[in-house]
């Protein structure tokens, strides 16, 4: 069965209370058409939105989605997002170091429920979390970040869902699919199966459930 779908149809998988993980590195690799379709064409609310860094200046629709339909936000950076700033002030934001955010996604994909890290010990990041001493050093326990739905963007995608992702936009994007129960990819270009060399596959098609064709420049 074909994985090709329209964005309006693909985002209907999102339901009230879901955790939605969004790939990209700020505006780089940001799945703007999927976020826009979710905001305009799906009424799901009380969402837990997880992504590296919301940016209200470049990603205004994302800011509106967080503000109007979000219940909680997990992110690494808040300064340029008015919605993220408000969530922080209201105690509805989990601020996570970038490396920890990446490892939480990776752990989810590997089936690891939690892990210990020295990052964040003695800071606000550690508030309410278990701290354990191992070999004389304190470590913070972080839980895996499992998503119900993942949104990513890829440079090239074949009809089986195998993705080639170019440059720094793959920093978090490649971790989202395995951490998500259902993943939708925006494809800048769709190519025949076999055109993407195996060593250039950034995300295996087994993790991709739906493919949406978009242009290289998305509406934000």
Which CATH number characterizes residue 16's domain?
Answer: 3.40.1080.10
Amino acid 216: pLDDT? 45
> Among candidates 124, 116, 194, 133, which has minimal Cα distance to 159?
194
Residue 63 domain flag: yes
Distance between CA atoms of residues 159 and 3, nearest Å: 7
Which are the contacts of 198, defined by CB distance < 8 A and separation ≥ 6? none
Residue 191 domain flag: yes
Residue 84 domain flag: yes
Amino acid 27: pLDDT? 83
Residue 102 domain flag: yes
Distance between CA atoms of residues 179 and 150, nearest Å: 8
Amino acid 25: pLDDT? 87
Q: Tell me the pLDDT of the chain (220 aa) as tens digits.
A: 899 999 999 999 999 999 999 999 878 899 999 999 999 999 999 999 999 988 876 789 999 999 999 999 999 988 788 999 999 999 999 999 999 999 999 999 999 999 999 999 999 999 999 999 999 999 999 999 999 999 999 999 999 999 999 988 888 999 999 999 999 999 999 999 999 999 999 999 999 999 999 864 444 4
Token readout for 191 is 């190519």
Amino acid 141: pLDDT? 98
Distance between CA atoms of residues 220 and 218, nearest Å: 6
Residue 89 domain flag: yes
Distance between CA atoms of residues 168 and 48, nearest Å: 25
Q: How far is CA 89 from the centre of its chain?
A: 22
Amino acid 215: pLDDT? 62
Please, are residues 153 and 24 in contact by the beta-carbon 8 Å criterion? yes
Residue 19 domain flag: yes
| Residue length of the chain | 220
Distance between CA atoms of residues 218 and 156, nearest Å: 15
Q: Report yes or no on whether pTM surpasses 0.75.
A: yes
Domain count, the chain: 1
Residue 131 belongs to what domain range? 7-213
Which are the contacts of 137, defined by CB distance < 8 A and separation ≥ 6? 118
Residue 220 domain flag: no
Residue 2 domain flag: no
């Amino acid at each position: 069965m074909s994985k090709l779908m329209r964005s309006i149809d693909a985002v209907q998988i999102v339901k009230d209370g879901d955790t939605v993980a969004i790939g990209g590195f700020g505006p780089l690799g940001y799945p703007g058409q999927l976020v826009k379709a979710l905001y305009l064409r799906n009424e799901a609310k009380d969402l837990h939105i997880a992504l590296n860094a919301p940016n209200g200046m470049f990603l205004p629709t994302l800011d509106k989605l967080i503000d109007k339909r979000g219940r909680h936000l997990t992110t690494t950076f808040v300064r340029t997002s008015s919605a993220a700033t408000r969530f922080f002030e209201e105690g509805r934001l989990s601020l996570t170091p970038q490396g920890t955010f990446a490892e939480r996604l990776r752990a989810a994909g590997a089936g690891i429920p939690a892990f210990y890290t020295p990052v964040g010990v003695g800071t606000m990041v550690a508030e309410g979390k278990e701290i354990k001493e191992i070999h004389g050093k304190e470590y913070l326990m972080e839980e895996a970040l499992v998503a119900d739905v993942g949104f990513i963007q890829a440079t090239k995608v074949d009809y089986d869902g195998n993705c080639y992702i170019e440059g720094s936009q793959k920093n978090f994007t490649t971790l989202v699919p395995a951490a998500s129960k259902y993943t939708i990819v925006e494809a800048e270009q769709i190519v025949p199966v076999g055109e993407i060399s195996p060593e250039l596959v950034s995300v295996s098609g087994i993790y991709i459930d739906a493919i949406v064709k978009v242009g290289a420049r998305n509406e934000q």
